[in-house]
Each structure stands twice: as C-alpha cells, then as structure tokens.
Structure 1
Amino acid sequence: MAQILKFPNASLPLRRVDNLSHLISALSKHRHSREDVYWLKENAELLNVLECTGEATGATGAGAGDLSELGAELCPDALAPLQSFYKDADRHLCFFKQYYRFILSICMDLEDLGLAGTPSRGEDLAHWVMQQDLPEHELSDLQRAEARRLLARRGLAGDFAGLDDRLHGFVDNTAQFAVPNRKAAYELTHIVFYLSDYGRRDPGLSAAAVHSLNHVGLLAFLDQDADLLSEVCVSLRYCSEMPSKVWEDWLQLHHQGFALIEAGRAGAPALHRDDYHMFLVSSWHQALTGEASFHQRVPTGALRFQRPARQGILHHLSHAAYQLEGQSGDWQKLRPQISDGLSEGDYRLLCEAENSFDGFGTFFEGFARRGTIQQQPVMRVNNG
C-alpha cells in the first residue's frame, strides 16, 4: 500500500515563538555586519520592544492591552545568536564608545529577557560609562535622557541638572508640533518613552504636551505615515491617554498589509530602502492594543520588510496653506478652497483626519503659518 507523504505548507503561519526566533536571527546575522552602527540600531530596537512588552516574562505590558498571553513565548535559544556579542560587549563598548547607548541597551535587554550569562555585565558596563562621563559628552538633552534611563536600569543616578525642565519645556511648546518637522516629532515621542520608562511610570506630561502629541499624530495621519503615527499612539498610551480610534483602526489595517520577503526573491526592496523600523513600531503598537503582533510568517535567513502602498495628503495641504498668502487660518472658511482638487479618496482621508481630533481647527491655525515676518515683532540684537 502506497504511503502518502504530507509536506508542510509554506503558506501556513508559523508559531509565534518561531517567528520571533527567525526575526532575531535575521537581524543579528543577515542584514548588517556587527561593526555597522545599523546592526546596533536594529538589534537594540527589536530587543527593546520585546523587553518593554514583556515577551519573555509573561508580564502585562505597559500602557494598554493584556499581554499575558504574549509572554513567555520567546524561546531561550532565540537569543543564542547574540550570545557572542554579549560576551564581548566590553571590548565593543571600549572601541565604539560613541555608540554606548545602543550597546548598553542591547546588553541590559538581553539580561532582562533571560539570556544566560554574567548577570552583572550590564551593570559593569554602566559603571564604566559613568566613569568615562560619556553622558556629559552629549550635546542633545534627548540623548542625555536616554542615557539617564539606561543607567537607572542598573541603579545608577548621574547628575543631570535641569534636564526634566528642559524636556518638559520642549514638549509643552504645542505650536511647533503643528508644523511638519520629523526630527522634532520623533524627539517628542522619544522624550515620552524615556520619561515614562517605556510605560512603567507616569511621565508627568501637561495638557499642552498631550496636545503636542495629537498635533504630530494628525500630521502623521495626513501623511499616512504608519511609523510616526505608531510612535505617537504608543506615547499617548504611555500617558494613559486613548489615541484616536480613527488612527488606531487605520494602523491595524495597515499592519496587516506588511510583507516579509526573503532578500533573494525578485521584487524584494533593497536593504537601505526597506521598512524594518515601520514594521517594528507597528508591531509594538499592535501589542499594546492587544491585537496580533509578530504573527506574520517570518521566513528564515535574510529578510526585507515592505509596507503596503499608501498615499497621504500632507504635501497637498501644506502647498495649499502656503498659497493662501497670509489669509485667515480659519479652517471652516478655508476648507472649500483647500479641499478643491482632491480626489474622492484624498477627500475622504481629509474628512477622517478632521473627525479624528476635536481640535483640528486649532491645529490648522498653527499649520497654516499665515502672515509674513513683517507682521511679526522682530527683536534686534545689540552686538555693541
């Protein structure tokens, strides 16, 4: 009697534990060399998301959503590709001390995720960073805030006089966040991450700072930028604020459209153009909302990440606002003029953006940037 052999269907989803193992392997072995800063960045980001969402502990994730069913799914063997980096981290830190924040983050997350090794290595590295006074060499308060958070994970407190006041002063300046500025937008979300210790404590944001986050969220939604919008929604949840349902519904739909492609396949995007970071923060946001995350089938070997096609209207809106040439920033008066020429789909996106946030009119007043410098007071600087 003939025996019928059944082969596994490659289209079937893998177990989530296998997906996570394949993802760690891809980032640690198949995308960048270990001496490349992008290797440090990508692996630090992934491990950070796995650690702060409680992947190996069964803990309930911070912010929102019960992650208990996600915990304890990270197989201990999944971290094995990073064992040698962890073992040699002291040499790596000594040679690449300009990247000390990435290296500290990787080692501390590996320890907290359960990698077997020297329990005090992360603490030893943190002490060396303090002895070298590396945080004082930073020019950016954002980087100092990250360094402070990392050192505090191993019980070390540096002298960062005035840092919180400066961070809160930055995030409270709501007007600047109604203007497209990706650098400032990502600094805003990361300040929330560090002040909240990734959702473990109240960051103490003011109502103005929450408005800043919502303004950046509007800009990201208008641009259909799932990367930035995911970070905004995570930040709002870390502030115990519920993000717009319109935004989160769109993010869930967008997340389902990601493609994880073997690097050698035709049509795979080039490494420098793929959407790894967007996939990661989108998965992070999905985990916080209790939705499926890291459930897409992850092939073994080298991977490329491709987002679904999307088209925003931020450029059209910005161009139209510039053409107003100093007219009123009243949204209701200018709406017909600005929406003229939009396709049906783009007009629908504009309506969704309006309905996603009660303060859209106030947001647009700042976004319009009406007037000229002649209409603004100018302070003369006396150099004499």
Structure 2
Amino acid sequence: MTNVVLLRPDDTCDPTTRTARLIRCFAIERRAQGDVFWLKENAELLGVLASTGNRLDRETLEPLRAFHAGSRDMLRDFPQYYRFILSICLDLEDLGLPALHGAALCDEVARAGLEGAELSDLQRAEARRLLRRRGMGPQVGDGALGQRLRDFVSRSATFAMPNRKAAYELTHIVYYLSDYGRCDPDLPNEAEKSLQFTGLLAFLDQDMDLLAEVCAALRLAGVQPSQSWENAVAACNRGYRIQPNISASLQDDYHEWLVTGWAADIAGRPMGARHLPDGALRFHACHNGQGALRPLAACLNDMGAQRSADWGHMRPHVLSYLGPESHAILLEAERSSPHFEQFFEGFARARS
C-alpha cells in the first residue's frame, strides 16, 4: 500500500504557515502544557501530521521542543500516560526534531512492561504499534492479540447496532494494523462489512466525526468509501467556524474538525478553513437537523412485533413514516452501500 498523504504541510517554512499555526495553537494556546487533555489533543494532531511522511522545520516544531527534551522525565513521573507521551515524542522525531529520546522511551516502556498493565486489547494494540516504530516487540497483528483483534472486526453483526465504543474501536484497530497507511492491514473479508455497517449508522445519524473515521479506515484498508459519505465529510469540514476566543469553552468540536479534514485530505479533497486566525482557537461545527437514525428506530419501535427484517417489505412503511429530511437521508444511505439490506436485517431486530 502506498503511503497515505494527510494534512500536507505548506510549501513555505514560514512559522506563520497553517501547519505551524496549528502546532502553536495546540502546544501553547489552548490548554496548559502537560495536562491529560493537552496530551490527548497534541498526540492526535501530531499523529495526523506525522502520517504524511513529510518533515517540518525546527522553527515550526519549536513550541514542542521543551516537551520533547523533558519527555523521559514526564514518563517517569506520569507512566499512566505513557501512550500519549510516547506518541508525541516519536511523532516529533519523525517530523523533524533530533532522534534523541524516542528509542530510549520505547526501551523504558518495554522494560517496565507497561503494555501488560493494559486491560483493553485496543490499548495493547496501540502500545505495540508505538514500540514497533523503533523496532521493539511484536507486530500489532501477531499472536493471540492479533487474532482477537481480527475476530472482533470480523463480527459484523456487532456493527449493525449503534454502539459508539465498538465503532471507534473498529476504526482504530484498522489504523493500528495498517500503521496509519504505511502497510497493508491484511483484514479479514468480513471486516469491510463491519466498516460498511458502521458507516451506514454514522451517515444515518449524520455523525460526521465517526463517518470521517470510517472513511479513513476504509481507505487505509484499500477500499474506496462511498462518494456520498466522503462528500458529507468534506462538506462538514468546509463548514467549520474557527475563531480565536480564549474565553470560550474548550469543549468544542476540534476532534471532528481534525478527523474530517484528515479524511478529506486522504481522499484528495481540499480542506476547509485554509486561513487560521491568531489566538486561542476554538472549533465549531455547523450541524443542521437530526439525521434519520432516531426516526428510523422510532418507526421500528412503533411497529413492534409487526416489523420485519426484510428491507424490501419494510421500505414503504419506513419511508412513509419519516419526515422530508430524514426521508432524503435514508434514501441516500440506501444508495450509498451494497450492504444496506444486510445492515437493515441486523438493525431491525425483528423476531424470526
């Protein structure tokens, strides 16, 4: 699989460029450096940037040089955040800072057996992926853990029902197995159906954060996502309002902005908001309407024992129940995936 190109850095090395502006915003303007939410936001941003395979100049990375220099002390004092700390340090070195600490951090994490302290297979997979970036430990997909990950993504029935935790675990398993597009994830055939079912739920719900993650995961798995889904994701990203407002709540929509932009860029589409103002940025989505997922579920609930798992039989009943906006979204969802009838069979939960 060829390398995925994500959030391409600007051609100029001027620190006022878009990429430098983002790094400065997340490093020093949104949150206090080092708290867990700061770690999460910076790990996500740098993870997307590092996936380009490109390198940034040191001036662009300057706001994070102190964190990089102190990363080993940070790991000693806060080992519970080792995945965030390790991810940020490795990405900074891959992006252009000197490779002074990443390998040593990986060695410390491996010797301390921190992966063994994880209860979640997904977190173990992430830890494995991070260590493999410096050649340590098994591959993500090796052994019993790899088999459990593949068994999970292959159980498509799980993903015909709304379950956000399972949905995000599905997409992240694909990210880790593919090393964010650097290798073929070698997914089982049923995993594509799981992604299709998750994408249908997200599209019906107009959940652009999840839909963007599904589109990205499909492309990392070598599958072309639905054009309707990618159109919706790109339109969402273009519609964002990004404003410098230090007094506004930090519980904003930055993650959706980041992943919709990432998914749009993977698909070769222009991102919105090329110009970013100075100041502590806040990201605000412009969502309209409720989608079709809840009205569809309400229709099935109202039908009770009369509902059927046969979409052909249920289609006229459902469409007549929905309002105009939900009606249009459902029709678009039906056209968007060859697996819609199988998805509906699971979603309907009809008695045999």
- SS of residue in 1 equivalent to 2:233: helix
Question: TM-score under structure 2 normalisation?
Answer: 0.91
Is the aligned partner of 1:41 residue 2:19? no
How far apart are 1:158 and its partner, in Å?
Answer: 4.7
Structure 2 CA distance, aligned partners of 1:81 and 1:255? 26
Structure 2 CA distance, aligned partners of 1:261 and 1:135? 39
How far apart are 1:55 and its partner, in Å?
Answer: 4.0
Q: Please, what is the CA RMSD of the aligned residues?
A: 1.8
How far apart are 1:16 and its partner, in Å?
Answer: 10
- SS of residue in 2 equivalent to 1:325: helix
Per-residue CA distance 1:330-362 (angstroms, 9 max, x = gap): 112112222234232221111100000112111
Question: TM-score under structure 1 normalisation?
Answer: 0.83
Query: Which amino acid in the other structure matches residue 359 of structure 1?
Result: H
Structure 1 CA distance, aligned partners of 2:77 and 2:138? 23
Deviates more, 1:193-202 or 1:328-337: 328-337
Is the aligned partner of 1:172 residue 2:154? yes
Structure 2 CA distance, aligned partners of 1:126 and 1:155? 9
How far apart are 1:304 and its partner, in Å?
Answer: 0.5
Query: Which amino acid in the other structure matches residue 24 of structure 2?
Result: S
| Alignment partner of 1:237 out of 203, 219, 233 | 219
Match in the other structure for 2:293: 314
How far apart are 1:317 and its partner, in Å?
Answer: 1.2
**8 A Cα contact 1:222 1:313, kept in partner:** yes
How far apart are 1:325 and its partner, in Å?
Answer: 2.0
How far apart are 1:177 and its partner, in Å?
Answer: 0.3
Query: Which amino acid in the other structure matches residue 323 of structure 2?
Result: S
158 and 128 in structure 1: CA distance in 2 versus 1, 3 angstrom threshold: farther
Structure 2 CA distance, aligned partners of 1:290 and 1:359? 25
Structure 2 CA distance, aligned partners of 1:52 and 1:343? 42
208 and 77 in structure 1: CA distance in 2 versus 1, 3 angstrom threshold: same
**8 A Cα contact 1:260 1:297, kept in partner:** no
**8 A Cα contact 2:199 2:214, kept in partner:** yes
Match in the other structure for 1:127: 107
**8 A Cα contact 1:25 1:301, kept in partner:** no
Match in the other structure for 1:69: none
Is the aligned partner of 1:344 residue 2:349? no
Equivalenced residue count is 335
Query: Which amino acid in the other structure matches residue 123 of structure 1?
Result: A
Identity of aligned residues (%): 47
Query: Which amino acid in the other structure matches residue 321 of structure 1?
Result: L
| Alignment partner of 2:116 out of 126, 130, 136 | 136
Deviates more, 1:297-306 or 1:256-265: 256-265
| Alignment partner of 1:278 out of 242, 256, 271 | 256
How far apart are 1:197 and its partner, in Å?
Answer: 0.6
Per-residue CA distance 1:204-253 (angstroms, 9 max, x = gap): 11221100000000001011111111110111111110000111112122
Per-residue CA distance 1:267-292 (angstroms, 9 max, x = gap): x5x211x1000011111111111122
- SS of residue in 2 equivalent to 1:105: helix
Query: Which amino acid in the other structure matches residue 333 of structure 2?
Result: A
Per-residue CA distance 1:64-91 (angstroms, 9 max, x = gap): xxxxxxxxxx443121010000011111
Per-residue CA distance 1:98-144 (angstroms, 9 max, x = gap): 110111000000000002x3x23100000000111000010011001
- SS of residue in 2 equivalent to 1:261: strand
- Where relative contact order (Cα < 8 A, 6+ residues apart) is larger, the structure is 1
Structure 2 CA distance, aligned partners of 1:51 and 1:181? 29
Query: Which amino acid in the other structure matches residue 369 of structure 1?
Result: R
Map 1:351-366 to 2 at 5 A: 351-366=331-346
Runs of 5+ in structure 1 lacking a partner?
Answer: 1-14, 57-73, 376-384
294 and 37 in structure 1: CA distance in 2 versus 1, 3 angstrom threshold: farther
328 and 343 in structure 1: CA distance in 2 versus 1, 3 angstrom threshold: closer
179 and 135 in structure 1: CA distance in 2 versus 1, 3 angstrom threshold: same
How far apart are 1:315 and its partner, in Å?
Answer: 1.2
Structure 2 CA distance, aligned partners of 1:170 and 1:337? 34
- SS of residue in 2 equivalent to 1:260: strand
**8 A Cα contact 1:16 1:295, kept in partner:** no
Match in the other structure for 2:61: 79
Match in the other structure for 2:229: 247
